[in-house]
Structure 1
Amino acid sequence: MNALLRRFRWNHDGIAATEFALIAPILILLLMASVEFPRALGMSQNVTRAARTVADLVARGGGADMDDVYAAAAAVAAPYDISGADLVIISAGVYKNGTALSSKVCSAYARKGTAKKAGVALGEAPPAFAKDKARYLVIEMSVRYPVIFSAFPYSRDITFERSIPWPVRQGDSVNGDAEIVLPGGNACPKT
């Protein structure tokens, strides 16, 4: 028995294989993360750029042909595919409610999303638009991220969502204010 223990103690066969078996899962996870994380970060940034592109084009009065606006957003998001993106464009107005200012939907357009109904309250006006009768746009974009390595259960369902308020730059003059009236919608009411 002692001879067997002495032989086992000094035998080094298989140590490298054992060390590799202990280290390999960690190395594989690092490899997966080094591929997945930059892709996710790049797509997140491109979704933000695409939403801002939509906002800027619509704010300049370019809301007449939404297919062209969506195509421009897809070009900006390349090489990532945003064809399945939920896109909601809201033209909002700010109204005085006693001493507070609140925003309401004037018109909305949706592509693969749900458009908000006119008159629905959006809550408190963003600080940049906190004045009575201000008009602005809100772009809401939601894109599902296609994971390459779904080794972890939480990584299978990642969605990038953006909600971007944007000033009206050029639009129809309604009630003396420049405003964007989205396709199928109406202008903001005076009050």
Structure 2
Amino acid sequence: MSRRIPRLRRLNGFWLDRRGVSAVEFALIAPILIVMYCGMAELTQAMMAQRRLSNITSSIGDLVAQGTQTGPLKIADIFTIGNTIMAPFPASTLKMCVASVASDATGKDTVVWSKASTTMSTCPAAGAVLTDVPVGVLPASQTVILARASYAYTSPIKLMLPSNMTFSRTYYLKPRKSDAVLWNASS
């Protein structure tokens, strides 16, 4: 019986000992905090990529709208600027499109010219009739520059965002120096 009492005292002393409580609490909470930290980092990176895409779309549209004419060389430079703005994110999944859209006297919106950086299913072809131009953006007998971009964001961590997220933006800008931005194959 005398052997049992010291064992009970040791066991009782083990349960009353508070020296390792902080380490145990940390071991329980640390994984949750790490997951939350990584998740916030992933969401922040995705938001930054989305903002860069918005900046690219407005910038490429604005650069085209500032001129009276454009062509393949100017458009190639504008798309290079778009790729540069996307840094430090990889520009391999960035797709850009610029088009001139004219409305006739009846309000029918037709694409005059259109150029895309890569194959882009949402880039309207020249001669296509658009039905999705918001009312008030393109009054009858006027033109606008349509700038469209999309980006497939892939998280480097893939903890909270395991699959790609595709962001898309569309901007309409009125030409600044003339009624329309003309396509010139030599510029």
TM-score interval, normalised by the smaller of the two chains: 0.7 to 0.9
Matches within 5 A, 1:92-107: 92-97=101-106, 101-107=107-113
Equivalent AA in structure 1 for residue 100 of structure 2:
S
Distance 1:87 1:182 in 2: 20
TM-score normalized with structure 1 length: 0.74
Superposition CA RMSD, Å: 3.0
- CA gap 1:145/1:85 in 2 versus in 1, 3 angstroms: same
Return 5+ residue gaps in structure 1 as ranges: 172-176, 185-191
Provide closer, same or farther for how the CA distance between residues 163 and 96 of structure 1 changes in structure 2, counting only shifts above 3 A.
same
Q: Structure 1 residue 102: deviation in Å?
A: 4.0
- Gaps spanning 5+ residues in structure 2: where? none
Identity across aligned pairs (percent)?
23
Any conservation in 1 of the 2:64–2:181 contact (CA below 8 Å)? Answer: no
Structure 1 residues 183, 14: CA separation in 2 closer, same or farther (over 3 Å shift)?
farther
How far apart, CA to CA, are the structure 1 residues paired with 2:134 and 2:172?
8
| Letter in structure 2 aligned against 1:138 | L
Counterparts of 1:140 and 1:112, CA distance in 2:
12
Greater CA radius of gyration, 1 or 2?
Answer: 2
Greater RCO, 1 or 2 (C-alpha within 8 Å, sep 6+): 2
Select the structure that is richer in strand: 1
Taking the TM superposition and a 5 Å limit, the aligned residue runs for 1:9-20 are 9-12=15-18, 14-20=20-26
Alignment: residue pair count: 175
Task: Tell me whether 1:24 sits opposite 2:26 in the alignment.
Answer: no
Task: Tell me the CA shift for residue 53 of structure 1.
Answer: 1.5
Q: Distance in 2 between matches of 1:161 and 1:43?
A: 11
What's the counterpart of residue 58 of structure 1? 64
1:67-117 deviations in Å (ceiling 9; x for gaps) = 2111222333333332431112221112354xxx34222221111133422
Give 1:169 deviation, angstroms.
Answer: 2.2
Match of 1:187 in 2: none
Report how far residue 145 of structure 1 moved: 1.8
Distance in 1 between residues matched to 2:81 and 2:60, nearest whole Å: 8
Q: TM-score, normalised by structure 2?
A: 0.75
